[in-house]
Each structure stands twice: as C-alpha cells, then as structure tokens.
Amino acid sequence: MGLLHDRKQTAQLFQRWGPVIHLRDADSTGVPRGLLQRQEDRGELLRVAKAAFVQTADWEAADDVEQFRRRSIGFGLCVVEDAHLTGAAAATLLELPLLSPPAGLPIAVRPGDPHIGPDRSPYGRIRHGHLPLVHRTIRTRVRTVSPAYAAVDIARHLGPLDGLIIADAALRRGVQRDAMFALVGKMQAYPGISTAQWVVERADPRSESPLETLGRYAFIEAGLAAPLSNVWMRAAGQWFRSDHLIPDVGVLLEADGAVKYNDRIDADDVVASEKERERKLRAAGYGLVRYTWADAVNQPWRIIQMAREAAELRPQMPVPQDWTLASPWGPAIGIRPTA
C-alpha cells in the first residue's frame, strides 16, 4: 500500500470522526494503526495527545484558539473515563467566551479528594475534586464539565473578570444561578472559591457579549452600582434598546465592539440611522457614551469618567423614566433595532 492509499484512508477517518481522531477510531473502521503512525512519520499527521492526531495542514492553518480546542479534544479522548475537561478546555468545547486566548495545556477534573496531586502528562493535566453527575456532559465526543461548573472553575483559577464573562454567558444560555451557588457551597474549602462566589452573585444574564461584561465590570471594580444591561427606552414615539443604562442619572452606554460599516453597501444608511437614533435619545433627556474594547481592557476608568461627563452634559430636564427591561412587544416578537 502506498502514500495515496494511506492518504485516502486517513481522509475517510477525519471525514467520519471530525478534526481529531483517536487510534480506536482507526480500530473501529478496520484501518491499521500503523497507517496513522506512517502518516505521522511523514509529517502529514500531528500527535496532539497520547493516541490522538490531527492533520498537520489543518493544524497549521488554524488560529491559536482552534489549535487549543483541537488539543483539548485530543486530550479528552485519551483521559480516563471519569475525567472531564474543565477550565478553558471546557469553555472552548462548550463555546463559552474567553477574555484572552487560552494558554498552557488542557485540564480535566475527575471526582475525588482535592488534596490528591494532579496527574500530569506532556498533553494535559488531571485534577481531582467535587464533580457531581449533573455537571458532567459530552461535547464533540469528549467528556466535559457543564457550563455552570466551567464558570465556577474559571473564576477560581483565572480571577473575577474571566469568571464573570463566562458566568454571564452561562446564565444567558439558561443556566440557573442556583446551580452555580450549589457548586460554590460544596467547594467552600477550595482555593479561589470566594472569587467564584463574588462572580456568581454579580453575573448578569442580560449581558450579551464579553465587551458588555467588561463595561459593567468597570463600574463594579470601582465600587459603583453596575449599570442595567440591554434596556428599552421610549423616545420620539419609538422604542430603542441600549447596551447599558445608569437609571439614576439617565446615561446610556453603548459597547462598540464589532465592525459595523466595513464592506457594507448600506454603511451610509447605517451611520445616518445611528445619528438619528442618538438625536432622539438626547432629545428625550438621555446622555450617551460609547466605549470600545480598548477602553474596557486598557482604561476602564475612562468609561466611568465619560459616563460622569455625559451626566453633566445631559439636557436640563428630569431624568427619563420611560424605560423597561422587558421588550415592549413581548419576548416572542421583540426586535432589537440597529444600535
């Protein structure tokens, strides 16, 4: 059998099993393990875990996050049966947002005494600890912890901001806050658990992006009340939705995170619509602030400063009260206008 035959069989394995294959996948389809080892020797396959492989060309074309995701899948396919990916590895498989690209090796957790030292390998690490059955799931053929567990674990190990981003996303997906509190309650002796409790108390299911979480965090970190997230307000007979509202002073904050105009044939119309929207909101008595990812990450104090300035410049009229957290049209048909 030659190179072309090996390539054809290898391609069929990846078509069937996905971007990461295990030696047992070859066994289950009658492909000799030696074929994968030959392809690794040729440089066409790359070993990402003890018995897991990716195609080298696809790996080299992937960005850092995707490479980490595939490395996590490989590690997850090779660990013992009661081990579940956690931390950043779980977040990438569960499609939960991360503040920064994941670094280091994947980590898994298995039920057991947390005082037992971790099992280490060149491909990842396995910790021991509290892991209820309800928080075990499967993604991409790999055992992983639940979104609630991932949020608590990331808060413990990566800190409040990373944890808040994950917890906001988990709640937005329908995870119950009580489920996270229950985990915190069972892990009171674990390092970093006070940070996890802080995160669970302040997580907001109405926050719709990491940038919006960063905007809220700027206020929380400064010891101020967090602005309300994604609020509807009435102006000039129309309803508009804003990323944040500081209700006591009538200031709206918009998180400008995405590229809105590039390569759009209607860019001029979008800009004109935004300007008209802001004109109506200002006329209704609101102050407006726009902040960027750079503001939120590098100078969060600037968001607070801009909000205070907007409050001072707001029209000399009563603070608007015609706003609501619920969609004016109801949950089934409420539509968010272009921001």
pLDDT tens digits, 282-315: 999 999 999 999 999 999 999 999 999 999 999 8
Let me know if the fold of 3-61 is the same as that of 210-324.
no
The per-residue pLDDT of the chain, averaged, comes to 91
Residues 93, 73: contact at Cβ < 8 Å? yes
What is the structure's pLDDT at 46?
Answer: 97
- Strands 107-111 and 124-129 come out as parallel
Residues 197, 161: contact at Cβ < 8 Å? no
**Domain segments of the chain as ranges:** 3-61, 64-202, 210-324
Asked if residue 134 has pLDDT above 70, the reply is yes
Exposure string for 47-59, b = 16+ CB within 10 A, e = fewer? ebbbbbbbbeeeb
Give the residue from 92, 114, 327, 129 showing the smallest Cα distance to 230: 327
Phi, psi (5° rounding) for residue 294?
-60, -40
Give the residue from 70, 77, 75 showing the smallest Cα distance to 56: 70
Residue 244 DSSP SS3:
strand
Query: pLDDT digits over 209-234, tens only?
Result: 999 999 999 999 999 999 999 999 99
Where helices occur in the chain by DSSP H, the ranges are 3-17, 23-28, 33-41, 56-61, 64-78, 87-94, 147-158, 160-172, 177-186, 193-202, 210-221, 267-283, 293-298, 300-313
pLDDT class of 263 with cuts at 50, 70, 90: low
The pTM of the full predicted model, rounded to 2 decimals, is: 0.89
Q: Write the DSSP symbol of residue 117.
A: P
- Strands 136-139 and 142-145 come out as antiparallel
Query: pLDDT digits over 228-256, tens only?
Result: 999 999 999 999 999 999 999 999 999 98
| Architecture per CATH, 3-61 | Orthogonal Bundle (1.10)
Instruction: Find out if CATH 3.40.960.10 is the number for domain 210-324.
Output: yes
Distance between CA atoms of residues 34 and 38, nearest Å: 6
Distance between CA atoms of residues 98 and 79, nearest Å: 24
